[in-house]
């Protein structure tokens, strides 16, 4: 088995910043063709615009992935550029603090639409394309046709009232991963998730700017005693995307420095 993703084509959502950008860059560095997708067109262009226009292994796509038409256009743009799609990384995620007793600002509907439904819809449409490509290419029965990887959070298991909506969305993402894994396994598509915590995401960076003391709190709540760089999460994603994980599906791989093992979490999970 090999950890290589060289020559494969990946779509990475949420790729304009933070963890999504780190994952997309990592896959390019490992030889994959990557479509960087994000709603933030200006940020996306600033990060990869010149490289995308050079028409090498990088392309970019901007649009609201809560819209089905946008998702279809993303798939079409990827296939036009690279002829196929082998890997989907659902890194498009948002974190909003909830006001638990305020139904007008508990953020549940917002994060359900942004974090869960968008990932589900793009997974469904991409899986259909993967199956079509397998049929087109004459893939044998039992052949692996693709890998879908969702980004989740240890917040799915933590109970923090101010993270009501985020935790609900993360828990839904985990169950969605398992359900899709069972449904798509006979089609040759693996579906897994990475639940992270104590990783320097874009939302965590923003929190640290507002509350610098969170850094020490997070480190103290993490057995390995530090915040991980996004690249460390990218390595785990590469494993799940590669043939080395060819018999791994429906799993939630936790990358959190041991933080989820503690009974008390004193700082935001992110």
The mean pLDDT of the chain is 92
Helix axis angle, 68-82 to 118-136, nearest 10°: 40
Q: Above 50 in pLDDT, residue 264?
A: no
pLDDT tens track for 13-24: 999 999 999 999
Whether residue 53 has pLDDT greater than 80: yes
User: According to the model, what pLDDT value does residue 263 have?
Assistant: 52
Catalytic residue status for 265: no
Q: Does domain 9-258 have CATH number 3.30.750.24?
A: no
Which among 61, 82, 166, 214 is annotated as catalytic?
166
pLDDT tens sequence across 224-256: 999 999 999 999 999 999 999 999 999 999 999
Regarding pTM above 0.75, the answer is: yes
């Amino acid at each position: 088995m090999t950890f290589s993703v060289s020559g494969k084509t990946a779509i990475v959502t949420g790729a304009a910043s933070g963890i999504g950008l780190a994952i997309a860059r990592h896959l390019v560095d490992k030889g994959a063709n990557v479509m960087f997708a994000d709603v933030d067109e200006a940020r996306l262009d600033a990060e990869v615009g010149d490289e995308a226009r050079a028409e090498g292994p990088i392309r970019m796509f901007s649009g609201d992935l809560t819209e089905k038409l946008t998702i279809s256009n993303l798939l079409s743009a990827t296939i036009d550029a690279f002829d196929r799609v082998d890997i989907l990384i659902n890194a498009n995620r948002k974190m909003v603090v909830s006001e638990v007793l305020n139904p007008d600002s508990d953020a549940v509907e917002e994060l359900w639409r942004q974090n869960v439904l968008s990932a589900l819809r793009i997974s469904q449409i991409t899986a259909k394309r993967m199956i079509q490509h397998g049929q087109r290419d004459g893939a044998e029965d039992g052949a692996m046709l693709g890998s879908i990887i969702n980004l989740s959070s240890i917040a799915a298991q933590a109970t923090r009232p101010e993270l009501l909506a985020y935790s609900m969305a993360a828990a839904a993402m985990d169950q969605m991963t398992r359900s899709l894994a069972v449904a798509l396994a006979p089609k040759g598509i693996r579906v897994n998730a990475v639940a992270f915590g104590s990783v320097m995401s874009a939302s965590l960076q923003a929190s640290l700017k507002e509350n610098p003391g969170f850094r020490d709190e997070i480190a103290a709540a993490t057995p390995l005693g530090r915040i991980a760089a996004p690249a460390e999460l990218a390595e785990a994603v590469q494993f799940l995307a590669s043939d080395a994980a060819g018999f791994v599906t429906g799993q939630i791989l936790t990358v959190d420095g041991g933080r989820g093992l503690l009974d008390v979490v004193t700082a935001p999970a992110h």
